[in-house]
Amino acid sequence: MSDNLPTFSRFNVGEGGSELECLPYGVHHGDEGVCLLVRMGPHRILLDCGLADISQLQSGLKQPLPADLVLCSHAHPDHAKSLLALHHAFPLLPIYASEVTTRLLPLNWSDIEQIPQFCQALPLRSPVEFQSGLVAELFPAGHLPGAAAILLTYTTARRSYTLLYTGDFFLSNSRLVEGLPLEELRGLGPDVLIIEGSYGTARHPHRRSQENQLAERINQAIAASYSVLLPTPTLGLGQEILMLLRSHHNFTGRDLDIWVDGTVATGCDAYLELLSHLPASVQNFARHQPLFWDERVRPRVRRLQMEQRRTVGKSPCIVIADKTADLSEYCQPDTGPWLILLPEKPGHAVDTDLHTVSPLSSLRRTSVETYLLAQHSDGPGITQLIHNLRPQHVVFVHGSPTYLADLTSLEELHNRYHLHTPAAGTLVELPIGDIFLQPAAPETNYEGELNELGTVVTITLPDAITADPRWRSFADTGLVEAHWQGEELVLRGLSQRELLNQNSDRFISADLNCCGTCRFRRGQRCGNPASPLFGFKVTPEGYCPAFERLSEEPSGDSA
Ligand SMILES: [Zn+2]
Ligand SMILES: [Zn+2]
């Protein structure tokens, strides 16, 4: 660590030069976790502490404490696992997180009996002044219940400096946590954005299709008399999969046992304690049936006892276990065959070799596959967030170096922002220009979200859609009509006029852009090779982006 000392001492001086600096102790390029020291004027703020050990924070200290305060983004170990050690080493160092995070944090030290209540809860969306001129505010970040993006504001007589740290973030809604509400942060214009880049520029299928793929694979395995073993972290993915299995049409009502083992079961208990903080749709679900432990409603969700591990796979079932568990305990020679499903790890090949999956390679009749059920935003989500925030500096952390390099080489980013991908121990100076003229953000496609829970389907549209002047006439009557058009579901608003005309033939206004007024309509079918609907039967009120208006003269080419 002696290499770092010049940087450290310089950082601790904090005089002259720029008002903002970031010294990363850990950037999570591999498995080292995130820990970032940020200086804003005289204030030193430590963001997350996911290091394996805190020796870096203890060595060469010129002041009694390594920071003035600590803010933790969320309860995952790569952001939080050394907070307890930090508290023991520096009991006077104040540590803060969202309320839900403070309640999930103890799961990081499940082997310790008495964990002091060392982390203080901060409310969401309310600025808190910690020291004169230093304010912090938390915003929900998606990804995991309690996960927060942290906005720091440092105010001098001359101007204010702002820094937003995303922690881990996810724009999409998951089953148990709503996505980062982009509209709350749009146009924020922080001077500095520190953002995670886990998935680099990768583009993911829509969350719904990721879920369906996983559900379908599990379904096939059970049908082929396999048991399915899903090793997951304590918090997040395991509970998401449970919720998915409980509400997916492939599984609802099926005579099937889903067993939950180890700390994942403890994680479920922790979620149950936090029910009032979970999305309204989940609270509604929980009013009709238990969220997790349920012996009555099929598929049954049950807590696995240690002595059941060796026998549970004698008939096909699903087991959700700790990712650190010895999987051979479940895959016994006298059980049925097993399918082990491992989550894909962005930027790292997942080793599906049985010898490394289980130390005892006695796993006969066992196969290993991977699946994607992302908990972080993909490349388009990352760039979407950046363009919506419009910072001067973007600091990428949390991702493999190659994935982060993919992001910094994107023209749409390096043309507009100062980009940084620091290694651990490298000081990043963040000079802030008084006048920052930024080119406009590129046009983006806005995607909506589909949520299906029980019999209710909710479609969430981004506010860019609803802010459009066309939304007014679309939503005029509050009624929509939905119908299938080939493989696509078409939604259209019903106008007052149509409601009045409901008893007569369906009314197609001549100035409506739809198949009924499109020059490529041939009889009841689409005749435009450029359209996704080409050759399909279309209804007059259908629409696709290849629409072209029928000329004013009646065209004679409809033969
Ligand atoms: Zn996380
Ligand atoms: Zn993380």
Q: What is the pLDDT of residues 330-379, one digit of tens each?
A: 988 888 999 999 999 887 777 766 656 655 455 668 899 999 999 999 99
Which ligand number lies closest to the CA of residue 235?
A: 1
3-state percent breakdown (helix, strand, coil) of the chain, nearest 5: 25, 25, 50
List, as one string, the DSSP characters of 194-234. EEE-TTTT--PPPHHHHHHHHHHHHHHHHHTT-EEEEEE-T
Q: What is the pLDDT of residues 184-212, one digit of tens each?
A: 999 899 999 999 999 999 999 999 999 99
Q: Distance, CA 542 to ligand 2 centroid (Å)?
A: 43
Phi, psi of 515 (to 5 degrees): -55, -30
**pLDDT, position 229:** 96
**pLDDT, position 436:** 61
Which ligand number lies closest to the CA of residue 79?
A: 2
Which ligand number lies closest to the CA of residue 236?
A: 1
Q: Distance, CA 79 to ligand 2 centroid (Å)?
A: 6
Q: Distance, CA 87 to ligand 1 centroid (Å)?
A: 21
Phi, psi of 460 (to 5 degrees): -105, 125
Tokens of 460: 């969430």
Q: Is 534 exposed, middle or buried (0-12, 13-18, 19+ CB in 10 A)?
A: middle
List, as one string, the DSSP characters of 40-93. ETTEEEEE----S--HHHHTT-SSSSS-SEEE---SSHHHHTTHHHHHHH-TTS
Instruction: Give, as residue ranges, everything with CB less than 5 Å from ion ligand 2.
Output: 78, 168
The yes-or-no verdict on residue 494 having pLDDT over 90 is no
Q: Distance, CA 490 to ligand 2 centroid (Å)?
A: 37
Which ligand number lies closest to the CA of residue 34?
A: 2
Residue that has been written with the tokens 């020796």 in this structure: 55
The answer to whether 325 and 342 have CB atoms below 8 angstroms apart is no
**pLDDT, position 171:** 96
Centre a 10 Å sphere on the Cβ of residue 200 and count the other Cβ atoms it contains. Answer: 22
How large a percentage of the chain has pLDDT more than 90? 65
How large a percentage of the chain has pLDDT more than 70? 87
Q: Distance, CA 343 to ligand 1 centroid (Å)?
A: 14
The yes-or-no verdict on residue 558 having pLDDT over 50 is no
**pLDDT, position 443:** 59
Determine the Cα–Cα distance for residues 198 and 8; give it in Å rounded to an integer: 27
**pLDDT, position 9:** 39
The yes-or-no verdict on residue 514 having pLDDT over 60 is yes
User: Which pLDDT band, with edges at 50, 70 and 90, does 465 fall under?
Assistant: confident
The yes-or-no verdict on residue 402 having pLDDT over 90 is yes
**pLDDT, position 364:** 65
Q: Distance, CA 167 to ligand 2 centroid (Å)?
A: 7
Q: Distance, CA 188 to ligand 1 centroid (Å)?
A: 23
Residue that has been written with the tokens 């479940």 in this structure: 330
Determine the Cα–Cα distance for residues 74 and 56; give it in Å rounded to an integer: 22
Q: Distance, CA 243 to ligand 1 centroid (Å)?
A: 19
List, as one string, the DSSP characters of 144-157. STT-EEEEEEEE-S
Q: Distance, CA 30 to ligand 1 centroid (Å)?
A: 14
User: Which pLDDT band, with edges at 50, 70 and 90, does 509 fall under?
Assistant: low
Which ligand number lies closest to the CA of residue 143?
A: 1
Residue that has been written with the tokens 């999305």 in this structure: 279
Secondary structure element (H or E) that encloses residue 386, with its range: helix 379-389
Contacts of 331 (CB under 8 A, 6+ apart): 229, 313, 338, 340, 358, 362, 363, 366
Q: Distance, CA 287 to ligand 2 centroid (Å)?
A: 32
**pLDDT, position 388:** 94
Secondary structure element (H or E) that encloses residue 160, with its range: strand 160-165
User: Which pLDDT band, with edges at 50, 70 and 90, does 445 fall under?
Assistant: low
User: What's the CA angle centered on 37, arms 33 and 41, to 5 degrees?
Assistant: 165
Which ligand number lies closest to the CA of residue 26?
A: 2
Q: Distance, CA 72 to ligand 1 centroid (Å)?
A: 11
Q: Distance, CA 77 to ligand 1 centroid (Å)?
A: 8
Q: Distance, CA 75 to ligand 2 centroid (Å)?
A: 9
Q: Distance, CA 377 to ligand 2 centroid (Å)?
A: 12
User: What's the CA angle centered on 70, arms 66 and 73, to 5 degrees?
Assistant: 140
**pLDDT, position 217:** 97
Q: What is the pLDDT of residues 35-88, one digit of tens each?
A: 999 999 999 999 999 999 999 999 988 899 999 999 999 999 999 999 999 999
Q: Distance, CA 48 to ligand 2 centroid (Å)?
A: 10
Q: Distance, CA 78 to ligand 2 centroid (Å)?
A: 5
